Amino acid sequence: MPGGESSWGIVGWLLLIAAGLLHFLEDPSSEPEQLSMNKNIIALREGYRKLNRSCFILGASGETGKELLKEVIKSQLFHKITLIGRRKITFEDEAYKDLVQEVVDFEKLDDFSAAFQGHDVGFCCLGTTKAKAGEAGFIRVDHDYVLKSAQLAKAGGCRHFNLESSKGADKSSSYLYLRVKGQVEAEVQELDFERYSVFRPAVLLCDRQESRPTEWIARKMLVPISYLFPSALSVPVTTLVRAMVNNMVMQNDKRVELLDNKAIHELGKLGESKNEHA
């Protein structure tokens, strides 16, 4: 039938657009339900605060790390927050004055084991790219530094380790990036933390200072898709860090948790302030 194929093509596109619109119009949780879940998360955060815990953050100078730091400071969930990094970060804001900063040499991390001691919770938002550090450099940071840090954290008494990994992480992938992410996830799991939470976000949406042209183009192309299908290919970094904190304050008896991009979106919606996108 002449022209049959192309008209089906158009129907397909129309269906796709309609599905996107429906997805956009439909609010999965009704307003009152959302409200009670938000109240619940506030109560959970208050309960957590009473536990008087301490944490460290690796990668607090990065896009995720600095947003996470903002979130844990704002929510006052810890009596002590330590940043572990290769350089000291300067903060203007008064709210940051009680931070402890440990400057370490990641190539000789064993010499800095004391920096990791005495933290209940650890967050790892370390990472680099092959473009920035070369293949060997990428493996050093995203695998070696991460694993060593987790080992020292475990030895130092950390009970809950949170790892920022990536969508698609898979130790048998033929892509170096996904393979390294999958490998380090699995090796950290072997350390057997009391609680181990792995986050696998898709492309992070943030306003990166540093120029990464390919990432910038990818983000721009993602705009219409992330509008129609919010949890398909991307996640705002603010949503990710809220998901990390919300997940932490929820008690659960699973030792190992894997949060994919969709779960991150769901959890990260809770406790979002209304004026955030202003």
Ligand X SMILES: *[C@@H]1O[C@H](CO)[C@@H](O)[C@H](O)[C@H]1NC(C)=O
Ligand Y SMILES: NC(=O)c1ccc[n+]([C@@H]2O[C@H](COP(=O)([O-])OP(=O)(O)OC[C@H]3O[C@@H](n4cnc5c(N)ncnc54)[C@H](OP(=O)(O)O)[C@@H]3O)[C@@H](O)[C@H]2O)c1
Under rule CB under 6 A, residue 62 binds ligand Y: yes
Contact status: 76 vs ligand X (CB under 6 A): no
Q: Which residue is nearest to ligand Y (CB)?
A: 62
**Is 88 one of the binding residues for ligand X (CB under 6 A)?**
no
Q: How far is the CB of 261 from ligand X (least distance, A)?
A: 35
Would you say 29 and 238 are in contact if contact means Cβ atoms under 8 Å apart?
no
177 catalytic? Reply is yes
Q: Are 248 and 16 in contact (CB under 8 A)?
A: no
Q: What is the DSSP letter of 49?
A: H
Q: Which among 191, 97, 109, 117 is positioned nearest to 158, based on CA atoms?
A: 117
Tell which positions 37-56 bind ligand X, by CB under 6 A.
52
Residue 52 contacts which entry, ligand X, ligand Y, none (Cβ below 5-8 A, type-dependent): ligand X
Pairing of strands 121-124, 203-205: unpaired
The tokens describing 199, both together, are 């986050």
Q: Give alpha helix (H) positions in the chain.
A: 4-25, 31-50, 63-75, 113-116, 130-139, 146-155, 176-190, 213-228, 237-249, 261-269
String marking each residue 127-146 x if it binds ligand Y according to CB under 6 A: xx------------xx----
Compute the least distance from the CB of residue 88 to ligand X, in Å.
Answer: 24
From the list ligand X, ligand Y, none, partner contacted by residue 99 (C-beta under 5 to 8 A by kind): none
Shortest Cβ contact with ligand X: which residue? Answer: 52
Of all helices (H) and strands (E), which one includes residue 162?
strand 160-164
Other Cβ atoms less than 10 A from the Cβ of 57: the count is: 27
In the region spanning residues 95 to 114, those forming contacts with ligand Y, defined by CB under 6 A, are 106
Choose, by CB under 6 A, the member of 71, 120, 164, 185 that binds ligand Y: 164
Quote the Cα angle for 72-260-178, to 5°.
105
Cα–Cα distance for residue pair 95/212, rounded to 1 Å: 30
The reply on whether position 82 binds ligand Y by CB under 6 A is: no
- Please state the closest distance from residue 53 (CB atom) to ligand X, in A: 8
Residue type, 80: K
User: Is 236 among the residues that bind ligand Y (CB under 6 A)?
Assistant: no
Cβ-based nearer residue to ligand Y, 41 or 81: 81
Task: Specify the stretch interacting with ligand Y by CB under 6 A; choose among 35-43, 123-131, 148-156, 252-260.
Answer: 123-131
Residue labelled with tokens 């008209």: 7
What is d(CA 57, CA 69) in angstroms, rounded to the nearest whole number? 8
The interface with ligand X within residues 143-202 (CB under 6 A) comprises none
Query: Do residues 230 and 148 touch, judged by C-beta distance below 8 A?
Result: no
Q: If contact means CB under 5 to 8 A according to the sort of partner, which of ligand Y, ligand X, none does residue 203 touch?
A: ligand Y
Q: Which of 154, 181, 196, 269 is catalytic?
A: 181
Where in the sequence numbering do the catalytic residues fall? Answer: 177, 181
Chain contacts with ligand Y (rule: CB under 6 A): 59, 61-65, 85-87, 106, 125-128, 141-142, 164, 166, 201, 203-204
Chain contacts with ligand X (rule: CB under 6 A): 52, 79
